[in-house]
Amino acid sequence: MIEFRSVTKQFPDGTVAVRDFSLIIPSRKITVLVGSSGSGKTTILRMINRMVDPTSGTIEIDGEDISTLAPVNLRRSIGYVMQNSGLLPHRKVVDNIATVPLLRGVKKRVARENALELMDTVGLDRSLADKYPSQLSGGQQQRVGVARGLAVDPNILLMDEPFGAVDPIVRDDLQQELLHLQRELDKTVVFVTHDIDEAFLLGEQVVIFRTGGIVAQKGTPAEILSDPADDFVASFVGADRGKRSLHIEQTPTGDVLVDSDGRTAGVLSADSAHEAKAATLMGAGAPAQGEEAP
Ligand SMILES: Nc1ncnc2c1ncn2[C@@H]1O[C@H](COP(=O)(O)OP(=O)(O)OP(=O)(O)O)[C@@H](O)[C@H]1O
């Protein structure tokens, strides 16, 4: 478990990126931080592995105050995946994946073998091992980035808009792969995006930010969709409603929200007031209850 307690980050130029932020990030689940550009998401992510230190407040991992831990060791024990993969262009795929294990003193042969196994894990053909990043597609490069993030077998994986720069179809694949990996590997994933659809698809806990690192709402996708805290959240959640075409389907175990691809976006509370609010949120143009999305 990762816990932020009243964390504030003010940069030397006076910018307050995060203000009095508190959050519990449960272990072995995906928590998604979502919000518009400049709302402090990346800063929060980077405070978890001490790439950035808070101005005030504390951050604990499994009860341990991370300000007491050596930043380099902490950084090397936590997986980090960034947008545009951040691969080293002059290193082969396999060496990119093995970078941190080699820095930690793992023998070259072992690190290479582990890297090849990780290529299997993230769905990359081993024949790509000796290619350079520029010889790979954007989606393949992101898979290499994920493999590299997993290379130290971290308990925690930080992902900063990892699928932001790939086309929608590849992105869909990568999202499904991440859900699959999460079920298989049981990591604590903290995922940053500005895409609310991605947040609701991936997140078991979703935290919606407004500017200044202020939490507008946090909860499960169903909780947020069925009961948005205020107009800001309602408009943020509803901004892309045409594309998402969320609708309610009745199942034997209760009502669920389903997106236009037939994926469950959340389970609605039995509370009819919540259902009414969710229906309002979906607005005109969304199919009526029980109907299929177009
Ligand atoms: N090193 C820095 N020095 C000064 N200001 C910074 C620094 N890093 C970030 N900021 C500012 O802090 C605020 C939050 O930035 P941050 O990158 O955390 O936001 P974000 O929500 O991740 O945005 P994006 O989605 O665009 O990546 C912004 O106003 C940004 O300009």
* 78 contacts 45 by C-beta, under 8 angstroms: no
Q: Which of 32-36, 141-145, 207-211, 276-280 has the lowest mean pLDDT?
A: 276-280
Distance CA 266, CA 193 (A): 19
What backbone torsions phi and psi does residue 47 show, to the nearest 5 degrees? -75, -20
**DSSP letter string over 151-194?**
TT--SEEEEESTTTTS-HHHHHHHHHHHHHHHHHH--EEEEEES
- When pLDDT is averaged across residues 233-240 and rounded to a whole number, the result is 78
Domains of the chain in start order, with CATH, are 2-217 (3.40.50.300), 221-282 (no CATH)
Q: What does the alpha-carbon distance between residue 4 and residue 9 come to, in Å, rounded to a whole number?
A: 12
pLDDT tens track for 86-99: 899 999 999 999 99
Query: If you measure from the C-alpha of residue 48 to the centroid of ligand 1, how many angstroms do you get, rounded to a whole number?
Result: 15
Indicate whether 228 pLDDT > 80. Answer: yes
Residue 18 Cβ contacting ligand 1 at under 6 Å:
no
pLDDT tens figures, 132-181? 999 999 889 999 999 999 998 899 999 999 988 788 888 888 899 899 88
Residue 273 has pLDDT above 80, yes or no: no
Minimal CA–CA distance to 217: which of 244, 236, 189?
Answer: 236
Q: To test the ligand 1 pocket, which listed residue (15, 193, 210, 214) has its Cβ within 8 A of the most ligand atoms?
A: 15
* Cα atoms in the 13 Å half-sphere on the side-chain side of 190: 28
Interface predicted TM-score (ipTM) over 0.90: yes
> Is the CB of residue 41 below 6 angstroms from any atom belonging to ligand 1?
yes
Number of Cβ within a 10 Å radius of residue 251: 10
Is residue 218 pLDDT above 90, yes or no? yes
Query: How confident is the prediction for the chain on average, in pLDDT?
Result: 84
Q: Is 134 in the pocket of ligand 1 (CB under 6 A)?
A: no
pLDDT of residue 159: 95
pTM of the model as a whole: 0.82
Cα 60 to middle of ligand 1, angstroms: 22
Percent of the chain residues topping a pLDDT of 70: 81
- Report the separation in Å between the CA atom of 283 and the middle of ligand 1, taken as the mean of its atom positions: 33
Nearest-CA residue for atom 2 of ligand 1: 11
Name, in order, each residue with C-beta under 8 angstroms of 94's C-beta and a sequence gap of 6 or more: 112, 115, 116, 119, 129, 130
The helix-helix angle for 168-185 and 138-150 (nearest 10°) equals 20
